[in-house]
C-alpha cells in the first residue's frame, strides 16, 4: 500500500482516468461496429466524419496509438469505397 498522501491521490486519479479511457475506447468500438453494420452507402457516408473525428481525438489523447488510428481510418475508407 502507498505510504504517501500524494501516492494515495495518484492511485485514486489513475483509477478515474482508466475508467474514462475505457469508456471512450468502448464508445469508439461501438461506433465502428455501427458504421460497419450499415447497409446503405448514404448512411455510412453520413457517419464517417463523426467516427473519424472520434478516432483522431482518442489518438491525440493517447487513448489509442496513432498507428492504430491510421489503420482504423484506412480500413474505414476502404469499407466505404467498396460499397
CATH number listed for the domain at residues 5-82? 1.20.58.110
pLDDT in tens, 47-62: 899 999 999 999 999 9
C-alpha cell at 3: 505510504
pLDDT reported for residue 18: 95
Give the C-alpha separation, 43 to 48, whole Å: 9
Residue whose C-alpha cell reads 496513432 in the numeric block = 66
Q: Would you state the pLDDT for residue 33?
A: 93
All structural domains of the chain with their residue ranges:
5-82
Cα separation, 13 vs 34, in Å, equals 32
Q: Per-residue pLDDT for 38 more than 90?
A: no
> How sure is the predictor about 20, in pLDDT bands with cuts at 50, 70 and 90?
very high
The CA distance from 24 to 22, in Å, is 6
Q: What is the pLDDT of residues 63-73, one digit of tens each?
A: 999 999 999 99
What crossing angle do the helices spanning 41-60 and 66-82 adopt, rounded to 10°? 170
Give CA–CA dist 80/43, Å, rounded: 10
pLDDT at 2: 77
Q: Examine the pLDDT at 83 and tell me if it is beyond 90.
A: no
Amino acid at each position: 500500500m502507498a505510504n504517501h498522501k500524494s501516492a494515495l491521490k495518484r492511485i485514486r486519479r489513475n483509477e478515474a482516468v482508466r475508467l474514462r479511457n475505457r469508456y471512450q475506447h468502448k464508445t469508439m468500438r461501438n461506433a465502428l461496429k455501427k458504421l460497419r453494420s450499415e447497409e446503405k452507402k448514404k448512411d455510412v457516408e453520413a457517419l464517417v466524419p463523426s467516427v473519424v473525428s472520434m478516432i483522431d481525438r482518442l489518438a491525440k489523447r493517447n487513448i489509442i496509438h496513432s498507428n492504430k488510428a491510421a489503420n482504423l481510418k484506412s480500413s474505414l475508407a476502404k469499407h466505404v469505397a467498396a460499397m
